[in-house]
């Protein structure tokens, strides 16, 4: 019959008793009751079948066997404490928090994030996607990529991607509803709209068509399709539900693969677009992320 395994949960209790020479002091240091410590010592003696302590008038003293056990226990507990301390204080992996909106994160960032992770495998990245607000700012320790104007972010950020837009739709939609050779024909097509709180801070159909000299004339018998995120607008366009305002920097891969096609002239707003806002306190890992974003997004404006 196999010999039962020796319980090791008592070691720190025995060490404190041997160090203090008192069951009561050991109990106080460990946050235990004196009877609980006394009971544990008796259990150890029963398992080892030796006496470990000599009860004295004041406190206890180690027997010869107790001293031998104390030497081993002290080394073991010290080694375990040192190992636990090294685990708690080992250097943590650099962590980066990147905040941006749903459109950039889903349409541009996700397809490219693997490239950054491959070149920086030791970094942990937390991506936070939010709706665009008028108060977007980078918080402590995070990099933010936000949409806005020169007056909003020119002093604190760097313009990465000026706003460049053109009508886009699925090839099947263009084949069924074309030709769309001029702005008036575009205005008569089924248009997909992105809702905004208050006046649109980016090109919408009204401002796009106005800049081309045409008022938005909804197609006869067609109800409007409106969405609260740009990703849904793009998905509806791919599904041949209508024509969308296309951000050329964000939709390059969809245009290259032919899921979407450009179906109208390009308009540009040089003082409006995506800005990078670095954290106030610079760190090597945030500097590396900012440099990568500037390289990747900076090239998107001409893509």
Q: Within this chain, do residues 46 and 145 fall inside the same structural domain, yes or no?
A: no
Residue 255 has pLDDT above 70, yes or no: yes
119's tokens: 């070149």
In 3D space, the residue among 92, 94, 147 whose CA is nearest the CA of residue 289 turns out to be: 94
First to last CA, the chain: 76
Structure confidence at residue 245 (pLDDT): 95
Whole-number Å distance between alpha carbons of 36 and 231: 63
d(CA 165, CA 170): 16
Same domain for 157 and 66: no
In a domain, 209, yes or no: yes
Which pLDDT band, with edges at 50, 70 and 90, does 14 fall under?
Answer: confident
- CATH number of the domain enclosing 47: 1.10.10.10
What is the domain extent for residue 268? 95-300
Cα-Cα-Cα-Cα torsion 123, 252, 254, 290, nearest 10 degrees, comes to 10
Does residue 228 sit in the same domain as residue 276? yes
Q: What is the pLDDT of residue 303?
A: 42
265-270 long-range contacts, CB within 8 A, separation 24+: 265/166, 265/183, 265/212, 266/164, 266/165, 266/166, 267/164, 267/165, 267/166, 267/203, 267/208, 267/211, 267/212, 268/162, 268/163, 268/164, 268/165, 269/162, 269/163, 269/203, 270/162
Q: What is the mean pLDDT of residues 245-271?
A: 92
Average pLDDT over residues 150-155: 89
Percent of the chain with pLDDT over 90: 20
Same domain for 184 and 288: yes
Measured CA to CA, the distance from residue 14 to residue 70 in angstroms comes to: 8
What is the average per-residue pLDDT within 213-236? 76
Query: Residue 122 in contact with residue 93, Cβ under 8 Å?
Result: yes
Q: What residues are paired with 98 via a beta bridge?
A: 127, 143
Tell me the average pLDDT across 265-275: 91
Do 163 and 50 fall within a single domain? Answer: no
pLDDT at 253 over 70: yes
| pLDDT for residue 140 | 63
The confidence score (pLDDT) of residue 301 equals: 47
Last residue of a domain, one of 54, 89, 124: 89
- What gap in Å lies between CA 279 and CA 138, rounded to an integer? 6
Instruction: Tell me whether residue 291 is in a domain.
Output: yes
Cβ pair 248, 260 in contact under 8 A: no
Q: Which residue has the tokens 């974003």?
A: 293
- Domain boundary pick from 72, 89, 106: 89
Q: How confident is the model at residue 173 (pLDDT cuts 50, 70, 90)?
A: very high
Taking 70 as the threshold, does the pLDDT of residue 225 lie above it? yes
Span 297-303, mean pLDDT?
53
**Poorest-confidence range of 80-89, 141-150, 160-169, 184-193?**
80-89
Q: How many Å is the Cα radius of gyration of the chain?
A: 34
In a domain, 64, yes or no: yes
Chain-wide mean pLDDT for the chain? 83
How many folded domains does the chain comprise? 2
Alpha-carbon span 195 to 180, nearest angstrom:
24
pLDDT score recorded for residue 165? 95
């Amino acid at each position: 019959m196999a010999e039962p395994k020796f319980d090791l949960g008592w070691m720190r209790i025995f060490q404190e008793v041997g160090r203090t020479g008192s069951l009561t002091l050991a109990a106080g240091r460990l946050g235990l009751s004196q009877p609980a410590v006394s009971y544990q010592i008796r259990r150890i003696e029963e398992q080892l079948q030796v006496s470990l302590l000599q009860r004295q008038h004041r406190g206890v003293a180690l027997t010869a066997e107790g001293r031998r056990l104390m030497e081993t226990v002290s080394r073991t507990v010290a080694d375990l404490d040192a190992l636990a301390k090294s685990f708690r204080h080992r250097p943590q992996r650099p962590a980066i928090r990147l905040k941006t909106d749903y459109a950039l994160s889903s349409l541009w960032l996700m397809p490219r994030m693997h490239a950054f992770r491959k070149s920086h495998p030791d970094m942990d990245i937390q991506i936070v996607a939010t709706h665009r607000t008028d108060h977007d700012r980078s918080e402590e320790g995070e990099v933010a990529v936000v949409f806005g104007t020169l007056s909003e972010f020119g002093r604190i950020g760097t313009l990465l991607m000026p706003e460049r837009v053109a009508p886009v739709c699925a090839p099947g939609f263009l084949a069924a509803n074309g030709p769309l050779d001029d702005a008036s024909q575009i205005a008569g097509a089924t248009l997909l709209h992105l809702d905004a709180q208050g006046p649109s801070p980016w090109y919408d159909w009204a401002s796009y068509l106005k800049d081309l000299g045409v008022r938005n004339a909804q197609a006869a018998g067609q109800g409007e399709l409106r969405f609260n995120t740009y990703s849904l607008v793009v998905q509806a366009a791919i599904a041949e539900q209508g024509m969308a305002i296309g951000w050329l920097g964000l939709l390059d891969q969809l245009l290259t693969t032919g899921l979407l096609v450009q179906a109208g002239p390009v308009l540009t707003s040089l003082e409006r677009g995506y800005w990078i806002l670095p954290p106030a306190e610079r760190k090597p890992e945030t500097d590396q992320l900012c440099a990568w974003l500037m390289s990747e997004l900076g090239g998107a404006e001409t893509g």
